Amino acid sequence: SHQKYRAILKKEKRKKKRQALAKLRDSEAAEKDESVSEEEEEEVEEEEEEEEKKLEAERQKLHEQWLLREEKAQEEFKLKKEKEEAARKRQEEEERKIKEEWEEQQRKEREVAQQKQQEKKEREAAVQRMLDQAESQLENGVSWHNPEPPENLGTEKDRANCPFYIKTGSCRFGDRCSRKHNYPTSSKTLLVRGMFITFGMEQCRRDDYDTDASLEYSDEETYQQFLEFYEDVLPEFQNVGKVVQFKV
């Protein structure tokens, strides 16, 4: 510290003064002269003053170097703090953006989920209304099916007509069937071949021998696809007539 430096400086000056006096005494003893000449005293004083000036200059130099180091250290500390503050602000800004993006994504996902749930409820309500309407018509005695076939038609006694077609109005063999299909000139039932089929149903039909194929396509997924299909097709049928029952 500065105080220690001053103490060392004073100690060094006293030491040099004692050495100078000792030299003078040695010189006096050799010359047997009891008095110290004025020239010698002035010479000693000048040496002391010169030495003190050198020490003072060295002290001033060290002090200026210390000030420069202190100023540099303060500047480096200030620069470090500024960089830390800038880094902190950048991190806070990035975290804020990430949070906003996550919240926006969550909001959109909630809206999509709510929309799908609402659409599902509407489709289920439409199906239930259709079933209620059909049940009401049945209770009121409204005819919704084709007339019963004549007696013995399509039985073992009738080998010409296709019994499966007579019962259901369709045949899995289609035009390849060896028996006769009597298509009515007018009917209350409309059959549309291959009207509803999904990719999962097609894959399961192709992989009849693969028991794991059906596991990839759930009934819930097929049901949702059917509801979408129903919503699209039913209005088209209603454009040309009254729909009593819709079967797939």
Percent of the chain with pLDDT over 90: 19
pTM for the model = 0.32
pLDDT digits (tens, 9 = 90+) for 133-173: 777 766 776 665 655 665 555 555 556 888 888 887 778 88
- Measured CA to CA, the distance from residue 187 to residue 101 in angstroms comes to 59
Domain boundaries, the chain: 2-27+40-121, 163-240
Other CB atoms within 10 Å distance of the CB of residue 144: 12
pLDDT digits (tens, 9 = 90+) for 84-100: 999 999 999 999 999 99
pLDDT at 143: 60
